[in-house]
Chain A
């Protein structure tokens, strides 16, 4: 571990800005007892056994703090608790609860450590666990980074087990038998004589005793729910009957409806507004300035939209380039520029020496800004009362919202209640809170009234905080049919520090790992191997997009690797397997080979297959995609996916998440980009940002392996390999090597 010293210093800078004042502070903060937010709301007779379970005479409530944006977090968290608590979760109340610091998310930052996820050595593991300290410090009750399952796997089961044993202890004391002689079943403690006492009946007594914490988790072989096929999602019935209440569906008596138009140059203030046409429109109650824009308050969402449309607004311009052309020129300029150097987390062998002479293979790549564009546009309901602010919204960051709303409204954070609602998708969009800030600003003008702010689709797409655009250059060398040298440079505006700064007001010093996440950390052994990140100036404000850094780096790394393998004359799959140094990763590559009947990239005239691989969030994922060139364009026929998440807790949902990841990755790779003119994207609705439609969806076959060491989430890892696998398949079918996304700039799709 010769790199440990150098890297470790950087680690503390990357993940832990607030530690600038000293690690001791961090340890002190992290060791402080974490306030239990449930205690605030507890009524007499209720027992708060852990922050994840609440029981009273009315019933059992499971608190699932990781928000559900479609990935199944709601369901799996409930099953994790129920597995140990011995209840049927379908009979329980399930709620995301109020945001509180007890819900810190330790796993989301742990992939920020400077060890590739395939290294499970002592130092790497220790550092990864240490990262939970800054997570606590930052009070991140955050959903993201495919972290719900890894973060909750032990904690939520322990919560269930602790609750169960404590209830048994309460029963034991009541009837005077040993706890060991009791068992539990379906929400009740069963006495030796077979009579049962419902948990709800024991709640008050359980509150009186110290919780039983010396519990042992059940082995996988004893699970009733987890790992079982056909585990029904607990929200499925609601979602198929139109009865799920998303944020946008919240309704209150006498509620006002609002919308905004803010500067499409996101974050840029200053505008001249002529509201004369809008002011007299039916149902319009108020037209008010909000940060960077104008808000309309009306008595119906459509009327608010119509009035907002009627506003004549002249926006002021920021000082970064206003066009995609100018933006890409800026990115190109930073690429390889020593003054823009950000980090180099992989540097093996001597790349400079290796590439000094002989035939060097070079390629340049670029990817566009991408909107998250979830189906449910951003919205929030806010009511401002005398000393309190209430917020109902679908969000991944309730604590940041609480603190920001408190600042805007001039109240203590404790006076802000954030009710987290199911989300109609997010893909990272709900890691932002501009819409909530605007809603609070508007609600302050109508105290006592509920105000629902809804962004139009156009407002949503032009204020999306997109996935960063970036450019990359690959240089490499092959010899004797093998890839010998691989040098990749990536240039991107900083993403993580910008995002974190927006949310917290704190600066995150040190390099921005997201510039190369997904390329520096791949489990390959290439003799001369280097990945360098360059930081371009900040331009369009950017954010996390499903699979974050790996969404672009997966394309760069695997596309260039494919080019080198082709130049070496080697088989794309066999050479990846030969280079792979991580057992679970090699196994997923071998699996897709077997699933696809791989016998080389060519299938027939005009038909080809490509392999794509990326390890992200600790999950190796390999895909083989088969395409056909038709008269109407490229048709994607079949996708084979193998993925290793350690332990599969919900096979049905795992398949759904992989389907979704592949379709998300392919759809955007085919035809999506945000193109900027006058600092605003031209694509403001789905007509210009189609993604994949049902007729284009290929057959997808998924195999989940379990050779990895730590349990991982699968919401994102299906995304990164899809784009390179598709581009590699197109090369196999047509001989055309496409190095820019979206691919339809260069080739048609059916």
Chain B
């Protein structure tokens, strides 16, 4: 199993950061296409999970809600719109409620928070309601992923997590929210596996 080539920092406590560069990246081409596709499948499960997708929304700039007891995702209550700035600057800054704190532990249904300024992901990173093919194409398109190759994507995850940003928060969201599937470390590893396999997309 290719996972043996990956060395991860031990990260298990909520809010603790993944150390940058903790991961030894596999050689490009050392991962089979099938393993890469399997890794993408897991990535897809993560990025379309409400913890991630709810703030990776489209150009209406309206985040989604699906915390404990909301059932299906619904538009954020209170008529919230993050604006083109994606930080609410035009209207109500996200940080009015989503304060910046390394302490992710909130009451259920309180405003979740993490260690950097709360915001929506850039609009070109839209995941909410998108298909495998659409998300795969977006993730590998430097025009729409922040100008990153696959190594850049891994670094991005590690860096964000080191700041206690949304990547770290997604797996320790507090407030009885469902965390994203599996672990942060596995997600980073999957990103590396998928990249080393040549970022294969689903065939369908």
Contacts and interface: CB of A to CB of B under 8 A. Distances in A.
B77 interface: yes
A682 B69 contact: yes
A690 B69 contact: no
Interface in A513-558: none
A694 B91 CA distance: 14
Contacts of B79: 693-696
A32 interface: no
Nearest to B67: A687
Interface string B78-92: 110000000000000
B109 A685 contact: yes
Interface in A674-698: 682, 685, 687-688, 690, 693-696
Interface band, chain A: under 10
Contacts of A696: 79
Contacts of A685: 109
A679 B97 CA distance: 32
Contacts of A690: 77
A693 B109 contact: no
Interface in B72-119: 77-79, 109
Nearest to B75: A632
A306 to B, nearest CB: 10
User: How big is the B interface, by class?
Assistant: under 10
A461 to B, nearest CB: 12
A693 B75 CA distance: 14
Interface in A317-344: none
Nearest to A671: B77
Nearest to A748: B74
Nearest to A690: B77
Contacts of A694: 79
Q: Is the interface of B mostly helix, strand, loop or mixed?
A: loop
A690 B77 CA distance: 8
Contacts of B78: 693
Contacts of B67: 687
B118 to A, nearest CB: 17
A688 B74 CA distance: 12
Interface in A159-203: none
Contacts of A693: 77-79
A696 B69 CA distance: 23
A564 B67 CA distance: 43
Interface in B52-84: 67, 69, 77-79
Contacts of B109: 685, 687-688
A695 B79 CA distance: 7
Contacts of A695: 79
Contacts of B69: 682, 688
Contacts of A687: 67, 77, 109
A644 B61 CA distance: 46
A688 B70 CA distance: 8
A694 B77 CA distance: 12
B112 to A, nearest CB: 12
B65 to A, nearest CB: 8
Contacts of A682: 69
A690 B78 CA distance: 9
A232 B77 CA distance: 35
Nearest to B107: A309
Contacts of B77: 687, 690, 693
Nearest to A750: B79
Choose among A687, A688, A690, A693 the residue with the greatest number of B CB atoms under 10 Å from its CB. Answer: A687
A667 to B, nearest CB: 13
A454 to B, nearest CB: 16
A309 to B, nearest CB: 8
Interface string A497-526: 000000000000000000000000000000
A351 B79 CA distance: 49
A693 B79 CA distance: 8
A15 B109 CA distance: 44
B96 to A, nearest CB: 15
A431 to B, nearest CB: 28
Contacts of A688: 69, 109
A695 B81 CA distance: 12
A682 B77 CA distance: 18
A279 to B, nearest CB: 21
A688 to B, nearest CB: 7
A682 B69 CA distance: 8
A678 to B, nearest CB: 14
B57 to A, nearest CB: 15
A690 B109 CA distance: 13
Interface string A684-727: 01011010011110000000000000000000000000000000
A694 B92 CA distance: 14
Interface in B1-25: none
A521 to B, nearest CB: 38
Nearest to B79: A695
B52 to A, nearest CB: 21
A693 B109 CA distance: 18
A685 B77 CA distance: 13
A688 B67 CA distance: 11
Interface string A444-486: 0000000000000000000000000000000000000000000
A695 B67 CA distance: 23
A337 B79 CA distance: 45
A459 B67 CA distance: 20
A687 B78 CA distance: 9
Interface in A388-418: none
A388 to B, nearest CB: 38
A693 B80 CA distance: 11
A632 B109 CA distance: 24
A688 B77 CA distance: 10
A694 B67 CA distance: 23
B79 to A, nearest CB: 4
A693 B76 CA distance: 13
A695 B78 CA distance: 8
A46 B109 CA distance: 55
B81 to A, nearest CB: 10
Nearest to A687: B109
B61 to A, nearest CB: 15
B177 to A, nearest CB: 13
A256 B14 CA distance: 34
A694 B109 CA distance: 21
14 contacts: A682-B69, A685-B109, A687-B67, A687-B77, A687-B109, A688-B69, A688-B109, A690-B77, A693-B77, A693-B78, A693-B79, A694-B79, A695-B79, A696-B79
Given A693-B77, A693-B79, 12 more contacts: A682-B69, A685-B109, A687-B67, A687-B77, A687-B109, A688-B69, A688-B109, A690-B77, A693-B78, A694-B79, A695-B79, A696-B79
Interface of A: 682, 685, 687-688, 690, 693-696
Q: Which 10 A-B pairs have the closest CB atoms?
A: A695-B79, A687-B109, A685-B109, A693-B78, A693-B79, A690-B77, A682-B69, A687-B77, A688-B69, A688-B109
